[in-house]
């Protein structure tokens, strides 16, 4: 049987991250605006409500590694017209639906959500959360460099209790190489403020594979993280795609770790996280046993959406803001990326939809398979002979079993302990859109 390093060399290849199925590059048959609204109406249940995602595209400075949709500006006069567009977009949804959906959860992403002033953030929250579920969950991504104490007070007062901080790395040389300067002291002070206001959950985003990183810098970063003790940690792989993401050309490739060192950075970081009491909940996410995410994992309630792992979700996700993605359980849509086009469409009284995909039965079945693999580490294959490319799937599963990545017991597929880092590879076996693609889409490496 191959050792771990040999497995990495064999299976480390470009793969989708599968926050959705099918991935965005494979979307076809977009629903019309009318069909999209009808899909929401068909799946809406008032006792469950909808999840909202709000994308704030503005950042005051450019992080060289960033692959998100963002606009770099220090001009905060942009806020008012953006806020107006967001609220009008939500009103269009309510008008077309004929009712005000109950809000099960709200997540702010970006860009930098705390680019918005505390006053504008409060206006937005008050308007979006008029019909809030009793079990409402609110979360936000925060840049420690732009967060003010007034932001925290507004969030706390409006039920946004889960916070994620963009840390990436604490080493000064690494920070300089990616143009993201934030000291451990700054972050520590923010963490103390969050805890003083009794926010219920704190996540740190960390990235491995960045320029100038070494086993020493990763070790030092995680030691600093362990002192602050966030209950959740997302330990992501940096995907260097300069042909696709222009700002990544500002990173000197000579400073990037080799593929072998990059894998060692992950393994070393993971080992330190486990030694500090964190549990591996899957796909580069780690959690303390006291966290909501770990409880969801052990109770087989872990779920996945466009934002990553969640402990509960509605069957409907509505995304507001440029480039936001929505999910009706029957279809996906994505808003326009260009801010002016987005605003113009809303000003015309229309939803700013640009891309979309209507699910067929195969999409829904494979979406279930991939989700269960990533959340529960196992899946039962129902009517497997009817899966597209079943003969090829069966052959690949046999090879994965031979390499010790999965275990097969009749119709039950289980990810083995040594196969935990290869979940995306297992998911790829079922991805018939990936098999059918003509023009090869460039994805990040699977490991």
Residue ranges per structural domain of the chain: 25-317, 360-436
- Strand partners of residue 163: 140, 202
Q: Which residue has the higher pLDDT, 369 or 6?
A: 369
Residue 189: pLDDT band (50, 70, 90) is very high
Residue 304 has what pLDDT? Answer: 86
Residue 323 has what pLDDT? Answer: 96
Domain 25-317 has CATH 3.80.30.20: yes
Residue 444: pLDDT band (50, 70, 90) is low
| Helices vs strands, H then E, count in the chain | 15, 19
Architecture in CATH of 360-436? Orthogonal Bundle (1.10)
pTM reported for the whole predicted model: 0.93
Whether residue 313 has a cis bond before it, omega within 30° of 0:
no
Which pLDDT tens digit goes with each residue over 325-346? 999 999 999 999 999 999 999 9
Residue 437: pLDDT band (50, 70, 90) is confident
Residue 418 has what pLDDT? Answer: 87
Please determine whether the domains at 25-317 and 360-436 fall in the same fold group of CATH.
Answer: no
Cα dihedral 438→439→444→447 (10° resolution): 30
Residue 446: pLDDT band (50, 70, 90) is low
Residue 10 has what pLDDT? Answer: 84
Coil, strand, or helix at residue 384?
helix
* Mean pLDDT for the stretch of residues 89-95: 98
Compute CA 149 distance to the chain's CA centroid, rounded to the nearest angstrom.
26
* Mean pLDDT for the stretch of residues 234-262: 92
Residue 278 has what pLDDT? Answer: 97
Q: 212: closest CA among 271, 263, 261?
A: 261
Report how far apart the first and last C-alpha atoms of the chain are (Å, whole number). Answer: 19
């Amino acid at each position: 049987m191959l050792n771990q390093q040999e497995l990495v060399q064999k299976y480390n290849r470009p793969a989708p991250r599968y926050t959705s199925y099918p991935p965005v590059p494979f979307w076809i048959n977009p629903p019309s605006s009318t069909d999209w609204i009808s899909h929401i109406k068909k799946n809406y249940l008032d006792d469950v409500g909808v999840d909202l995602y709000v994308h704030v595209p503005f950042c005051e400075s450019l992080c060289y590694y960033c692959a998100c949709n963002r606009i770099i500006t220090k001009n905060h006069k942009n806020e008012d017209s953006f806020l107006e567009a967001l609220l009008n977009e939500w009103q269009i949804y309510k008008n077309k639906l004929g009712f005000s959906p109950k809000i099960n959860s709200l997540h702010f992403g970006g860009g930098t959500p705390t680019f918005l002033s505390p006053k504008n953030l409060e206006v937005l929250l008050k308007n979006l959360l008029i019909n809030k579920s009793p079990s409402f969950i609110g979360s936000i991504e925060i840049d420690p460099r732009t967060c003010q104490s007034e932001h925290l007070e507004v969030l706390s007062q409006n039920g946004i209790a889960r916070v994620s901080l963009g840390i990436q790395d604490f080493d000064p040389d690494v920070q300089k190489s990616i143009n993201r300067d934030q000291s451990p002291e700054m972050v520590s002070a923010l963490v103390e403020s969050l805890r003083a206001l009794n926010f219920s959950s704190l996540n740190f985003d960390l990235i491995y594979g960045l320029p100038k990183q070494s086993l020493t810098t990763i070790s030092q970063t995680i030691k600093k993280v362990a002192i602050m003790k966030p209950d959740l940690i997302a330990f992501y792989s940096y995907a260097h795609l300069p042909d696709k993401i222009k700002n990544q050309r500002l990173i000197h490739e000579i400073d990037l770790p080799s593929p072998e060192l990059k894998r060692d950075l992950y393994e070393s970081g993971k080992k330190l996280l486990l030694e500090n009491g964190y549990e591996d909940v899957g796909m580069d996410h780690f959690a303390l046993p006291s966290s909501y995410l770990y409880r969801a994992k052990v109770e087989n309630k872990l779920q996945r959406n466009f934002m990553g792992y969640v402990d509960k979700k509605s069957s409907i996700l509505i995304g507001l803001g440029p480039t936001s993605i929505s999910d009706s359980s029957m279809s996906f849509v994505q808003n326009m990326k260009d801010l002016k086009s987005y605003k113009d469409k809303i000003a015309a009284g229309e939803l700013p939809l640009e891309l979309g995909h209507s699910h067929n039965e195969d999409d829904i079945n494979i979406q279930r398979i991939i989700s269960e693999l990533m959340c529960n580490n196992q899946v039962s294959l129902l009517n497997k002979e009817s899966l597209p490319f079943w003969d090829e799937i069966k052959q690949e599963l046999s090879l994965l079993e031979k390499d010790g990545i999965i275990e097969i017991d009749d119709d039950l597929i289980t990810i083995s302990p040594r196969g935990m880092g290869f979940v995306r590879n297992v998911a790829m076996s079922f991805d018939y859109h990936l098999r059918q693609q003509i023009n090869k889409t460039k994805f990040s490496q699977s490991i």
